[in-house]
Structure 1
Amino acid sequence: MPATQPSASPTQQADGLVIAVDGPAASGKGTLARRLAAHYGLPYLDTGLLYRMVARTMLDAGKALDDAQAATASAAGFDDAAIDESRLRGREIGEAASVVAAIPAVRRALIDRQRRFAAAGEGAVLDGRDIGTVICPEATVKLFVTATPEVRAARRHKELAGRGEAATLDGILADIRRRDARDSGRGDAPLKAAEDAVQLDTSALGVEEAFQAALAIVEDRRRG
């Protein structure tokens, strides 16, 4: 399973704490989820990697991304140990993952993997687009992380440039808006905030500011 395990000396050990972090692409949810997992000494799962793995196997096999039968077979059959994150990053694979994620049978095939991860220990942090609504509806804390499309595009442009990938800011912004529409408009498990989620807009926040805001939300929910 593509997860990050806690360090030997976490800042604070959690007991039965499940944190669901949802939000659109480049909102900062992954960075926040990793920081929260490290802080509380919890395993972390980037659920988007599961969909990227399905997309990767489809592309490698020369299959059409909207081939529901082939995509579902891939989702049910890949080995967690075979996941190579270095092949699952980048603009192309992110767009491809959004396409296969819109297939209801693919989502159903991956639900059990995610739920088993959340229930395996004394807690967990998962990030994705339907964690608080579908995967872990009983999560202790639910965060919905947002940012404006323009801010998210600038972040993704900087990330891609850092990896040496050529992309224009306008092109990335168009990708983000197209992906938002696809993720929010799909009939099965659309991207949306759970009713009891706390929304965190990171548009004007730096990494540390966003983390401190998220941490305050988690602690407030735990006390409540």
Structure 2
Amino acid sequence: MIIAIDGPAASGKGTLAKRLANHFGFHCLDTGLLYRAVARDVARNGFRLEDAWAAVAAARNLDPRELEDADLRGNAAGDAASIVARIPEVRAALLAYQRNFARRPPGAVLDGRDIATVVCPDANVKIFVTASPEVRASRRFAEFEARGSAVAYETVLEDILARDARDSGRASAPMMLAEDAELLDTSNLSIEAAFDAAVGLIKRKISH
């Protein structure tokens, strides 16, 4: 069983993917961490994120055991990831790892930007999680406030819109809604409500 969860930044797809994996007893992979780790390693080696050859080398030599690095969860890591993710060879280098993970028994939940369209087009269930840019910016702004970070809401919204543009406008595996994916708008949903809605979608899908 493969459940593909796609969507833009701060849509809630990561939280949802973890809860679904726990609920069904499946493995879970935040594929965004792979690209964040690649960006981290490129910078760590002293190269620019736009240096394609350095990013490809980092992707090919990525150590999955280093995905637990707490620094990969930060907003800056996410912005850096969207830069290296535009490089087709980087995406190709990480594709095999993601597909092998998806085949782990008894099942797997993968979240990212191109899971349903590129990584696992044969996924049993495909869900595209979204929310309005304003709602997503509010969520990210609340996270910054909780950490005591001083940042203006307008700046967060600008970053969200810029990230959306990069992710949906890249030539290689752009973020998009798969034709056979279920759309889940979490703009007006709590975490619990979004989870209940997703479980309902999955159960209806696999019962057919």
Question: How many residues end up aligned between the 2 structures?
Answer: 208
Question: Among the aligned pairs, what percent are the same residue?
Answer: 56
Would you say 1:172 and 2:156 are equivalent positions?
yes
2:18 to 20, 34, 50: 34
- 1:125 is aligned with what amino acid? V
User: 1:1-224 counterparts in 2 under 5 A?
Assistant: 17-224=1-208
Deviation at 1:209, TM superposition (A): 0.5
Structure 2 gap ranges (5+): none
Looking at structure 2, the residues matched to 84 and 67 of structure 1 have their Cα atoms a distance apart, in angstroms, of: 25
Question: Contact 1:65/1:100 (CA < 8 Å) preserved in 2?
Answer: yes
Looking at structure 1, the residues matched to 83 and 98 of structure 2 have their Cα atoms a distance apart, in angstroms, of: 19
Structure 1 gap ranges (5+): 1-16
SS in 1 for 2:172: coil
SS in 2 for 1:51: helix
Looking at structure 1, the residues matched to 22 and 159 of structure 2 have their Cα atoms a distance apart, in angstroms, of: 31
Partner of 1:10: none
Report the TM-score when normalising by structure 2. 0.97
Instruction: Choose 132-141 or 154-163, whichever is displaced more.
Output: 154-163
Question: Contact 1:49/1:85 (CA < 8 Å) preserved in 2?
Answer: no
* Cα deviations by residue, 1:83-126 (Å, 9 ceiling, x for unpaired): 33301021211110000001111100000010010012221000
Report the TM-score when normalising by structure 1. 0.90
RMSD: 1.0
* Cα deviations by residue, 1:66-99 (Å, 9 ceiling, x for unpaired): 1000000000002111233301021211110000
SS in 1 for 2:73: coil
> Higher RCO, 1 or 2 (CA under 8 Å, sep at least 6)?
2
